[in-house]
Amino acid sequence: MIEQRLSEQRGLGDHGWLHSRHTFSFASYWDPKQSGFSDLLVINDDRVAASRGFGAHPHSNMEIISYVLEGALEHKDSMGTGSVILPGDVQLMSAGSGVTHSEFNHSKTEGVHFLQIWIVPAEKGTPPGYQQITVPESEKRGQFRLIVSPQGEENALSVRQDVRLYAGLFDGAEQQTFALNEDRYAYIHVARGSVRINGIRFEAGDGARVRHEKSLNFSEGENAEILLFDLRPVEVNPPGR
């Protein structure tokens, strides 16, 4: 079963310097039917104005992933980490027992567009940590590249939960059939462009909960960039609730 949710159905947060679309309930946007899926709690599609950003603030017991689509995102944290994240980079901050961080648009003239993703960890109170990798476009072109996993295999970032996150780029004749374990769930997020998945057309910002499917076929992409989450079969909001 593929339960599609269209881009315009997402929550909206518009603060002038920040334009954010919320896939799941977040901040002032609350929908009891959209309070995460399995261990995936947040996908925020954020656009931040030049030289603006999120000032230093604390987090604990959350796995926080940043995936930059356009521009440059500057990160600083209480662990002493400082970095600039560009398109193709993936950042994972394990908040664990507690960390303070800030995320700012590194540019004084251009906006930054990125996805902020939260995963609920399997354990609480673990030591905080920071990881970052660069994934070449060639490794995502016409296929899915593992970018986050529990063990960090295949040069992926290591997350403290039974979650695997893949990224893929599809355009024109590029296509792939991705095999799924029927005992697992999946979540699809189309970050940009458009693509056909199992015959269903998806546009930028669209997403879908996936349950009890054997495979997903991705085809007819138009500059599509897609994130695919492999998740535990845990229900936050059971179907029909």
3-state secondary structure 97-162: CCEEEEEEECCCCCCEEEEEEEECCCCCCCCCEEEEEECCHHHCECCEEEEEECCCHHHCEECCCC
* 98-146 pLDDT per residue, tens: 999 899 899 989 999 999 999 999 999 999 999 999 999 999 999 999 9
Is 24:229 a contact under the CB 8 Å cutoff? no
The band of 241, judged by pLDDT with boundaries at 50, 70 and 90, is very low
Residues composing the chain: 241
In this prediction, residue 237 carries a pLDDT of 66
Mean pLDDT of the region 229-240? 80
Q: Is the pLDDT of residue 199 over 70?
A: yes
Q: Which residue intervals of 90-220 are DSSP H helices?
A: none
DSSP code at position 46: E
Is 140:169 a contact under the CB 8 Å cutoff? yes
Q: Is the pLDDT of residue 240 over 50?
A: no
* 73-99 pLDDT per residue, tens: 998 989 989 899 999 999 999 999 999
DSSP code at position 29: B
Q: State the pTM of this model.
A: 0.95
Domain architecture of the chain: domains with CATH: 2-231 (2.60.120.10)
Name the token pair of 170. 């599809």
Per the prediction, the chain carries an average pLDDT of: 94
* 10-64 pLDDT per residue, tens: 999 998 999 999 999 999 999 999 999 999 999 999 999 999 988 889 899 999 9
